[in-house]
Structure 1
Protein backbone atom coordinates (compact mmCIF):
# COMPACT_ATOMS: atom_id res chain seq x y z
CA UNK A 1 0.00 0.00 0.00
CA UNK A 2 1.32 3.47 -0.87
CA UNK A 3 0.61 6.01 1.89
CA UNK A 4 1.48 9.75 1.78
CA UNK A 5 2.76 11.90 4.66
CA UNK A 6 -0.84 12.54 5.83
CA UNK A 7 -1.58 8.81 6.03
CA UNK A 8 -3.70 8.87 2.86
CA UNK A 9 -3.52 5.97 0.43
CA UNK A 10 -2.06 7.15 -2.87
CA UNK A 11 -1.14 5.83 -6.29
CA UNK A 12 0.45 2.43 -6.18
CA UNK A 13 2.85 0.83 -8.62
CA UNK A 14 0.09 -0.42 -10.93
CA UNK A 15 -1.39 3.06 -11.51
CA UNK A 16 2.10 4.50 -11.99
CA UNK A 17 2.93 1.70 -14.45
CA UNK A 18 -0.12 2.62 -16.53
CA UNK A 19 0.88 6.29 -16.48
CA UNK A 20 -2.05 7.56 -14.40
CA UNK A 21 -1.47 11.06 -13.03
CA UNK A 22 -3.61 12.01 -10.03
CA UNK A 23 -4.32 15.73 -10.36
CA UNK A 24 -6.32 15.96 -7.16
CA UNK A 25 -8.15 13.76 -4.67
CA UNK A 26 -10.05 15.61 -1.99
CA UNK A 27 -13.53 15.86 -0.52
CA UNK A 28 -14.79 17.43 -3.76
CA UNK A 29 -13.69 14.42 -5.79
CA UNK A 30 -10.78 13.02 -7.74
CA UNK A 31 -9.34 13.95 -11.11
CA UNK A 32 -6.88 11.62 -12.82
CA UNK A 33 -5.30 12.07 -16.25
CA UNK A 34 -3.77 9.44 -18.51
CA UNK A 35 -2.13 9.37 -21.94
CA UNK A 36 -2.98 6.07 -23.63
CA UNK A 37 -0.08 4.78 -25.73
CA UNK A 38 0.04 2.16 -28.48
CA UNK A 39 0.67 -0.61 -25.92
CA UNK A 40 -2.70 0.23 -24.31
CA UNK A 41 -4.65 -0.60 -27.48
CA UNK A 42 -6.59 -3.76 -28.24
CA UNK A 43 -6.38 -5.71 -31.48
CA UNK A 44 -8.93 -3.37 -33.07
CA UNK A 45 -6.68 -0.34 -32.56
CA UNK A 46 -8.70 1.37 -29.80
CA UNK A 47 -7.88 1.80 -26.10
CA UNK A 48 -8.41 -1.51 -24.29
CA UNK A 49 -11.45 -1.66 -22.02
CA UNK A 50 -9.24 -2.96 -19.21
CA UNK A 51 -7.15 0.22 -19.35
CA UNK A 52 -10.31 2.35 -19.14
CA UNK A 53 -11.66 0.22 -16.29
CA UNK A 54 -8.39 0.54 -14.38
CA UNK A 55 -8.60 4.33 -14.75
CA UNK A 56 -12.20 4.34 -13.44
CA UNK A 57 -11.21 1.97 -10.61
CA UNK A 58 -8.28 4.16 -9.55
CA UNK A 59 -10.23 7.41 -9.73
CA UNK A 60 -13.21 6.16 -7.71
CA UNK A 61 -10.83 4.62 -5.19
CA UNK A 62 -9.04 7.93 -4.65
CA UNK A 63 -12.35 9.78 -4.41
CA UNK A 64 -13.53 7.39 -1.67
CA UNK A 65 -10.21 7.48 0.20
CA UNK A 66 -10.59 11.25 0.59
CA UNK A 67 -13.74 10.49 2.67
CA UNK A 68 -12.48 7.78 4.99
CA UNK A 69 -10.04 8.21 7.89
CA UNK A 70 -6.32 8.24 6.99
CA UNK A 71 -4.86 4.75 6.75
CA UNK A 72 -8.25 3.06 6.30
CA UNK A 73 -8.51 0.83 3.24
CA UNK A 74 -11.66 0.89 1.10
CA UNK A 75 -11.25 -1.73 -1.64
CA UNK A 76 -13.78 -2.08 -4.42
CA UNK A 77 -16.38 -4.79 -3.95
CA UNK A 78 -18.34 -3.89 -7.07
CA UNK A 79 -17.55 -1.93 -10.25
CA UNK A 80 -20.05 -1.44 -13.06
CA UNK A 81 -18.73 0.10 -16.27
CA UNK A 82 -20.63 1.55 -19.20
CA UNK A 83 -18.51 2.02 -22.33
CA UNK A 84 -19.98 4.90 -24.34
CA UNK A 85 -17.52 5.23 -27.24
CA UNK A 86 -14.03 4.24 -28.26
CA UNK A 87 -10.94 6.04 -26.96
CA UNK A 88 -7.83 6.45 -29.10
CA UNK A 89 -4.12 6.59 -28.31
CA UNK A 90 -2.30 9.89 -28.43
CA UNK A 91 -5.07 12.02 -26.93
CA UNK A 92 -5.27 12.55 -23.13
CA UNK A 93 -8.01 10.98 -21.05
CA UNK A 94 -9.46 12.80 -18.05
CA UNK A 95 -11.33 10.85 -15.40
CA UNK A 96 -13.42 12.72 -12.82
CA UNK A 97 -14.87 10.85 -9.88
CA UNK A 98 -16.73 11.64 -6.70
CA UNK A 99 -17.65 9.83 -3.56
CA UNK A 100 -21.43 9.66 -3.26
CA UNK A 101 -21.46 8.35 0.31
CA UNK A 102 -18.92 6.97 2.75
CA UNK A 103 -20.42 5.14 5.69
CA UNK A 104 -18.82 3.07 8.41
CA UNK A 105 -18.79 -0.12 6.32
CA UNK A 106 -19.72 0.73 2.73
CA UNK A 107 -18.89 3.64 0.42
CA UNK A 108 -20.11 4.37 -3.09
CA UNK A 109 -18.69 6.47 -5.90
CA UNK A 110 -19.08 7.31 -9.57
CA UNK A 111 -16.69 8.45 -12.29
CA UNK A 112 -16.64 9.47 -15.94
CA UNK A 113 -13.82 9.43 -18.49
CA UNK A 114 -13.68 12.04 -21.23
CA UNK A 115 -11.35 12.44 -24.19
CA UNK A 116 -11.60 15.97 -25.49
CA UNK A 117 -15.30 16.80 -25.26
CA UNK A 118 -16.44 13.17 -25.73
CA UNK A 119 -17.63 10.90 -22.91
CA UNK A 120 -15.79 7.58 -23.22
CA UNK A 121 -16.95 5.54 -20.21
CA UNK A 122 -18.72 5.78 -16.86
CA UNK A 123 -18.62 3.71 -13.68
CA UNK A 124 -20.54 3.25 -10.45
CA UNK A 125 -18.71 1.54 -7.59
CA UNK A 126 -19.15 0.14 -4.08
CA UNK A 127 -16.32 -0.16 -1.58
CA UNK A 128 -15.86 -2.02 1.70
CA UNK A 129 -14.61 0.37 4.40
CA UNK A 130 -12.12 -1.72 6.38
CA UNK A 131 -11.81 -0.12 9.79
Structure 2
Protein backbone atom coordinates (compact mmCIF):
# COMPACT_ATOMS: atom_id res chain seq x y z
CA UNK A 1 0.00 0.00 0.00
CA UNK A 2 1.40 3.40 -1.00
CA UNK A 3 1.75 6.62 0.93
CA UNK A 4 -1.79 7.90 1.64
CA UNK A 5 -0.77 11.52 1.03
CA UNK A 6 0.57 10.63 -2.40
CA UNK A 7 -2.61 8.62 -3.18
CA UNK A 8 -4.75 11.64 -2.22
CA UNK A 9 -2.59 13.98 -4.30
CA UNK A 10 -2.90 11.67 -7.32
CA UNK A 11 -6.65 11.39 -6.77
CA UNK A 12 -7.09 15.17 -7.13
CA UNK A 13 -4.33 15.92 -9.62
CA UNK A 14 -5.63 17.38 -12.86
CA UNK A 15 -4.05 14.63 -14.98
CA UNK A 16 -1.64 15.08 -17.89
CA UNK A 17 -4.15 16.47 -20.42
CA UNK A 18 -5.55 19.12 -18.06
CA UNK A 19 -2.04 19.97 -16.86
CA UNK A 20 -0.98 20.41 -20.51
CA UNK A 21 -3.77 22.97 -20.90
CA UNK A 22 -2.60 24.80 -17.78
CA UNK A 23 -5.53 23.89 -15.52
CA UNK A 24 -4.82 24.31 -11.80
CA UNK A 25 -6.83 22.00 -9.54
CA UNK A 26 -7.48 23.93 -6.33
CA UNK A 27 -9.98 21.56 -4.74
CA UNK A 28 -11.82 18.29 -5.35
CA UNK A 29 -13.84 17.05 -2.40
CA UNK A 30 -17.38 16.18 -1.29
CA UNK A 31 -18.43 19.77 -1.96
CA UNK A 32 -17.22 19.70 -5.56
CA UNK A 33 -14.23 20.85 -7.58
CA UNK A 34 -12.56 24.17 -8.17
CA UNK A 35 -10.18 24.69 -11.10
CA UNK A 36 -8.50 27.82 -12.43
CA UNK A 37 -7.00 28.38 -15.86
CA UNK A 38 -5.23 31.26 -17.58
CA UNK A 39 -5.86 30.91 -21.32
CA UNK A 40 -2.79 31.73 -23.39
CA UNK A 41 -2.56 32.83 -27.05
CA UNK A 42 -2.46 29.19 -28.19
CA UNK A 43 -5.87 28.63 -26.54
CA UNK A 44 -7.59 31.31 -28.64
CA UNK A 45 -9.51 30.85 -31.87
CA UNK A 46 -9.10 32.89 -35.06
CA UNK A 47 -11.35 35.64 -33.69
CA UNK A 48 -9.03 36.10 -30.69
CA UNK A 49 -11.37 34.68 -28.04
CA UNK A 50 -10.91 31.55 -25.94
CA UNK A 51 -11.65 28.46 -28.05
CA UNK A 52 -14.86 26.62 -27.17
CA UNK A 53 -12.94 23.35 -27.00
CA UNK A 54 -10.72 24.81 -24.26
CA UNK A 55 -13.81 25.83 -22.31
CA UNK A 56 -15.41 22.41 -22.84
CA UNK A 57 -12.23 20.70 -21.60
CA UNK A 58 -12.30 22.86 -18.47
CA UNK A 59 -15.95 21.97 -17.82
CA UNK A 60 -15.19 18.29 -18.53
CA UNK A 61 -12.33 18.34 -16.02
CA UNK A 62 -14.35 20.08 -13.29
CA UNK A 63 -17.33 17.74 -13.59
CA UNK A 64 -15.10 14.68 -13.80
CA UNK A 65 -13.17 15.58 -10.67
CA UNK A 66 -16.34 16.50 -8.78
CA UNK A 67 -17.69 13.01 -9.53
CA UNK A 68 -14.41 11.25 -8.72
CA UNK A 69 -14.25 13.03 -5.35
CA UNK A 70 -17.59 11.41 -4.44
CA UNK A 71 -16.62 7.89 -5.52
CA UNK A 72 -14.28 5.44 -3.80
CA UNK A 73 -10.65 5.77 -4.93
CA UNK A 74 -9.90 3.85 -8.10
CA UNK A 75 -13.49 3.66 -9.39
CA UNK A 76 -13.54 4.93 -12.98
CA UNK A 77 -16.46 7.11 -14.09
CA UNK A 78 -15.89 8.33 -17.65
CA UNK A 79 -18.17 10.90 -19.21
CA UNK A 80 -20.88 9.46 -21.44
CA UNK A 81 -22.54 12.81 -22.06
CA UNK A 82 -21.40 16.43 -21.88
CA UNK A 83 -23.78 19.26 -22.71
CA UNK A 84 -22.23 22.74 -22.88
CA UNK A 85 -24.01 26.08 -22.98
CA UNK A 86 -21.73 28.91 -24.08
CA UNK A 87 -23.06 32.12 -22.51
CA UNK A 88 -20.48 34.69 -23.66
CA UNK A 89 -16.98 34.94 -25.06
CA UNK A 90 -13.99 34.56 -22.76
CA UNK A 91 -10.93 36.78 -23.10
CA UNK A 92 -7.42 35.38 -23.27
CA UNK A 93 -4.95 36.30 -20.55
CA UNK A 94 -7.61 36.61 -17.84
CA UNK A 95 -8.16 33.86 -15.26
CA UNK A 96 -11.10 31.51 -15.72
CA UNK A 97 -12.62 29.91 -12.61
CA UNK A 98 -14.58 26.68 -12.98
CA UNK A 99 -16.68 25.21 -10.18
CA UNK A 100 -18.02 21.68 -10.53
CA UNK A 101 -20.55 19.84 -8.39
CA UNK A 102 -21.54 16.19 -8.33
CA UNK A 103 -25.34 16.08 -8.33
CA UNK A 104 -25.71 12.31 -7.92
CA UNK A 105 -23.34 9.37 -7.59
CA UNK A 106 -25.11 6.03 -7.83
CA UNK A 107 -24.00 2.46 -8.42
CA UNK A 108 -24.08 2.77 -12.23
CA UNK A 109 -24.51 6.43 -13.14
CA UNK A 110 -23.33 9.77 -11.78
CA UNK A 111 -24.25 13.28 -12.89
CA UNK A 112 -22.59 16.64 -12.39
CA UNK A 113 -22.75 20.28 -13.36
CA UNK A 114 -20.18 23.04 -13.70
CA UNK A 115 -19.93 26.74 -14.45
CA UNK A 116 -17.04 28.86 -15.72
CA UNK A 117 -16.74 32.49 -14.69
CA UNK A 118 -14.30 35.18 -15.70
CA UNK A 119 -14.42 37.96 -13.16
CA UNK A 120 -18.09 38.27 -12.25
CA UNK A 121 -19.38 37.09 -15.65
CA UNK A 122 -20.64 33.60 -16.47
CA UNK A 123 -18.86 32.28 -19.56
CA UNK A 124 -20.22 28.73 -19.94
CA UNK A 125 -22.08 25.95 -18.12
CA UNK A 126 -22.29 22.21 -18.49
CA UNK A 127 -24.24 19.21 -17.31
CA UNK A 128 -22.72 15.75 -17.54
CA UNK A 129 -23.52 12.08 -17.15
CA UNK A 130 -20.88 9.53 -16.14
CA UNK A 131 -20.86 5.72 -16.30
CA UNK A 132 -19.71 4.30 -12.96
CA UNK A 133 -17.74 1.23 -14.02
CA UNK A 134 -16.88 -0.72 -10.87
CA UNK A 135 -17.44 -1.19 -7.18
CA UNK A 136 -19.93 0.17 -4.67
CA UNK A 137 -20.31 3.91 -5.22
CA UNK A 138 -23.12 5.28 -3.10
CA UNK A 139 -21.92 7.34 -0.12
Q: For this structure pair, what is the TM-score category when the shorter chain's length is used for normalisation?
A: over 0.9
Match of 1:21 in 2: 24
Matches for 1:80-95 after TM superposition, within 5 Å: 80-95=83-98
Q: Is the 8 A contact 2:12 2:28 kept in 1?
A: no
Match of 1:74 in 2: 77
Q: Which has the larger radius of gyration?
A: 2
Q: Which of 95, 100, 123 in structure 2 is aligned with 1:97?
A: 100
1:10 Cα deviation from its structure 2 partner: 3.2
Q: Which of 46, 49, 58 in structure 2 is aligned with 1:46?
A: 49
| TM-score, normalising length: structure 2 | 0.89
- When the two chains are superposed, the root-mean-square deviation of aligned CA atoms in Å is 1.1
| TM-score, normalising length: structure 1 | 0.95
Unaligned runs of 5+ in 1: none
Match of 1:62 in 2: 65
1:5 Cα deviation from its structure 2 partner: 1.2
1:9 Cα deviation from its structure 2 partner: 5.8
Cα deviation, 1:69-119, whole Å, max 9, x if unaligned, reads 100111000000000000011100000010000000000000000000000
Q: Is the 8 A contact 2:64 2:78 kept in 1?
A: yes
Q: Is the 8 A contact 1:9 1:71 kept in 2?
A: no
Task: Give the match's secondary structure for 1:5.
Answer: helix
Unaligned runs of 5+ in 2: 1-5, 135-139
